[in-house]
Amino acid sequence: MQLPTYDDVVAAAARLAGHAHATPVLRSATADARWGARFFFKCENFQRMGAFKFRGAFNALSKFDAAQRRAGAIAFSSGNHAQAVALSARLLAMPALIVMPQDAPAAKLAATRGYGAEVRQYDRFSEDREALTQRLAAERGMTLIPPYDHPDVIAGQGTAAKELIEETGPLDRLYVCLGGGGLTSGSALAARALSPACQVYGVEPEAGNDGQQSLRAGHIVQIPVPTTIADGAQTQHLGNYTFGIIRRDVTDILTVSDAQLVEAMRFFAERLKMVVEPTGCLAFAGACADAAAIRGQRVGVIISGGNVDLARYAALLAP
């Protein structure tokens, strides 16, 4: 297994130029004063389709050869990866088929179809999603793009941290939202190359700390689907590629509670006037919980996405 390198991140950045947004890096005098640190917020909630996942999907689909382009891409996801593959396929003029559970939120189904993808729904309780996707891929000759454990996906996700550090200069610490580890491993590749002394932390939900357990155990640990408001980080295990990079390049994996995520979400709304989805708050919540360690430091925070149903957002923030 050949792990992707920083050169792959650089190549991904060239493919994404003119297609992905170079998202803003925001500062907050309030956050800096409250924690005695200098925060740099990389706002991937302002990325196309509302999350960093566009970077990895577009990079992966851009590398298809002519035959792969004709047949198109297939993915299984009910979240941001679905929309990322759908939008990337539309921009690259190829077909996309997204496998989603029958009980996926109507808004997500509509968004995915809105980007022009075909949606195949399945019954979560009676059908095996991976087997179904493999069968459809084989039948139609489509290329399966997984949400995180793929070298081109990891390299694409790494372009966000590359942009961040190129803009801010070296950082002391970088906090990243962690699910299956595509964003964290890509960010670590960029940080190692551009700011070698920077400590990189993945932050995952307390209820779903499979990444932390894996790092401690030295092998990939699988857990049942965790119950957490961070729906983009309900992954059950890291991948072979992502774990290989994380265990080499990531300093540690931290966890935060749902209550800490809501606190961070409220801070972003009140102070930065920004809608961030619960999963997108992991990194900042993790940095805040690390209060003693971040004092006096230059702290990068990757805000991973902003896709949250408004009724749910309001309910989470309601006092």
Ligand X SMILES: *Cc1c(COP(=O)(O)O)cnc(C)c1O
List, by residue number, the catalytic residues: 53, 78, 204, 208, 210, 304
CB-based contacts of 107: which residues, under 8 Å, 6+ apart?
A: 309
Closer residue to ligand X (CB): 184 or 228: 184
Closer residue to ligand X (CB): 38 or 163: 163
Position 239 contacts ligand X (CB under 6 A): no
Q: Is 7 exposed, middle or buried (0-12, 13-18, 19+ CB in 10 A)?
A: exposed
Position 80 contacts ligand X (CB under 6 A): yes
Position 233 contacts ligand X (CB under 6 A): yes
Q: Give Cα 276 distance to the centre of its chain.
A: 13
Using CB under 6 A, which of the segments 23-31, 111-119, 232-240, 256-264 binds ligand X? Answer: 232-240
Indicate which single residue of 99, 277, 285, 289 sits in contact with ligand X (rule: CB under 6 A).
277
Indicate which single residue of 51, 73, 87, 299 sits in contact with ligand X (rule: CB under 6 A).
51
Closer residue to ligand X (CB): 38 or 148: 148
Residue 136 Ramachandran class (φ > 0 left, ψ -120 to 50 alpha, else beta): alpha
DSSP state of 93: T
- Residue 40, strand partner residues: 300
Cβ-based neighbour number of residue 20 at 10 Å:
23
Position 182 contacts ligand X (CB under 6 A): yes
Strand order in the sheet with 173-177: 25-26, 38-43, 298-303, 173-177, 199-205, 252-256
Give the closest residue to 181 by CA, choosing from 88, 257, 246, 116.
246
Using CB under 6 A, which of the segments 113-121, 122-130, 173-181, 290-298 binds ligand X? Answer: 173-181
Closer residue to ligand X (CB): 174 or 178: 178
Contact pattern for ligand X over residues 290 through 309, marking x by CB under 6 A: --------------xx----
- Residue 283: phi and psi, rounded to 5, are -65, -45
Residue nearest to ligand X (CB): 305
Contact pattern for ligand X over residues 99 through 138, marking x by CB under 6 A: ----------------------------------------
The rounded distance, in Å, linking the Cα atoms of 79 and 100 is 9
DSSP state of 204: E
Position 232 contacts ligand X (CB under 6 A): yes
Position 179 contacts ligand X (CB under 6 A): yes
Task: Using CB under 6 A, list all residues that contact ligand X.
Answer: 51, 53, 79-80, 147-148, 157, 177-184, 232-233, 235, 277, 279-280, 304-305
